[in-house]
Amino acid sequence: MNFWNTIDRPIIALAPMEDVTDTVLRELLLNAADPGALHVVMTEFVSTDGLVHKKARKRVIHRLQVTDEERKLLKEKNVKIVAQIWGNTPENYQQVVKEITEEMEFDGIDINMGCPVPKVVARGCCSGLIGNPSLAKEIILAAKEATTLPVSVKTRIGLKSVNTEEWIGHVLETEPAALTIHGRTQKQMSQGLADWSEIAKAARLRDQLGLDLPVIGNGDIQSLEEARAKCAEFGLDGAMIGRGIFDNPWLFMEEQRERTPEEKLEMLWKHTELFDRVWGDTKNFHILRRYYSIYSKGFYGAAELRAQLMQTESIADVERILNGIQITTCPDCPPATAPSY
């Protein structure tokens, strides 16, 4: 069954991001999300070439890990989880998709045809496939043939220049279960503003072809309110949110407010503790530093705290720093009661 067509509109999805949307971050976001505010989450993108080779597999298989606690939250909040994969060899897609379908508990599979990283594009993968539509179509059809799960595609509006209708026309010929479009070309990377009017062209083309599949927009969304407004303005079925979570880990809550210092530091500690519990020393602890800059801001002394956290090498370092700080909202305010870690 294509779950994409059973979700209430507008669909709100979490974008796949490397070294970001692992099971730890997804669990934190799901915990904070209000029921009905988030419909689909995606894994980090995983190389099909890596998964089919014994040695490389050990380096990438963790990207498909889902903890029991995350599974519980997905069920409680009725959120679907999709494995995102990338590569340029149809045979590898078939092997990987078959394995994901038969041995892992995912609700769908998404093909990455949008990552703009130059070294990946140079290999003819991800958004590099925009320049090779015949191979792109072969890959989508090979993946669909290997599974009973819905196979969706995430892509961009062009390679070096905008080419929305021609490129999306090729993709729609394969009738993916859903189509997510980031409103930039590969050349733009993350520069400039996403062009949602180009994403809207894809939805109109879908309608002209009489296809029954959701078209989802992606690019620069900072809130649920903005996501829903964009869907209404541009005639889309949903919106995918990526970098917005870096500014607001509570983004998937309906009622937004400024978080207290205590709440920010509590989330910081939860993230650190969960990362340590799930990954131990199998992942680089430095990955957490990008999040410390999110949690340690907006209160007096945050800059000094952030500087200290950026030097941490372990959970013990973080615990020592947090237990040694006093939280205040202004230079002359009395310290609040800091949580114990």
333 in catalytic set? no
pLDDT tens digits for 222-269?
Answer: 999 999 999 999 999 999 999 999 989 999 999 999 999 999 999 999
Q: How many whole angstroms separate alpha carbon 223 and alpha carbon 14?
A: 12
Q: Scanning the structure block, which residue is given the tokens 């009395």? A: 334
User: Is residue 335 in some structural domain?
Assistant: no
What is the three-class DSSP state of 296?
coil
Q: Are residues 173 and 65 in the same domain?
A: yes
Q: Which residues of 240-266 are buried (b: 16+ CB within 10 A; e: fewer)?
A: bbbebbeebbbbbeeeeeebebeebbb
| Backbone torsions φ then ψ of 47, nearest 5 degrees | -70, 125
Q: Domain boundary residue among 247, 276, 311?
A: 247
Cis peptide upstream of residue 10 (ω within 30 degrees of 0): yes
Q: Are residues 96 and 128 in the same domain?
A: yes
Q: Are residues 235 and 319 in the same domain?
A: no
At 28 the pLDDT is 97
Q: Are residues 296 and 150 in the same domain?
A: no
Q: How many whole angstroms separate alpha carbon 107 and alpha carbon 151?
A: 10
Q: Which amino acid is at 69?
A: E
Q: Are residues 100 and 187 in the same domain?
A: yes
pLDDT tens digits for 51-110?
Answer: 999 889 999 999 999 999 999 999 999 999 999 999 999 999 999 999 999 999 999 999
Q: How many whole angstroms separate alpha carbon 215 and alpha carbon 193?
A: 19
User: Is residue 330 in some structural domain?
Assistant: no
Which residues, including other chains, have CB under 8 Å from residue 9's CB and lie 6 or more apart? 214, 231, 237, 238
In whole numbers, what is the pLDDT of the chain averaged over residues?
Answer: 94
Q: Domain boundary residue among 212, 247, 282?
A: 247
Q: By residue range, what is the domain housing residue 291? A: 261-323
Q: Give me the number of domains the chain comprises.
A: 2
Q: How many whole angstroms separate alpha carbon 14 and alpha carbon 259?
A: 21
Which entry of 115, 125, 126, 231 is annotated as an active-site residue?
A: 115
Q: How many whole angstroms separate alpha carbon 220 and alpha carbon 172?
A: 24
At 322 the pLDDT is 93
User: Is residue 336 in some structural domain?
Assistant: no
Q: Are residues 238 and 279 in the same domain?
A: no
User: Is residue 256 in some structural domain?
Assistant: no
Q: Are residues 228 and 296 in the same domain?
A: no
User: Is residue 340 in some structural domain?
Assistant: no
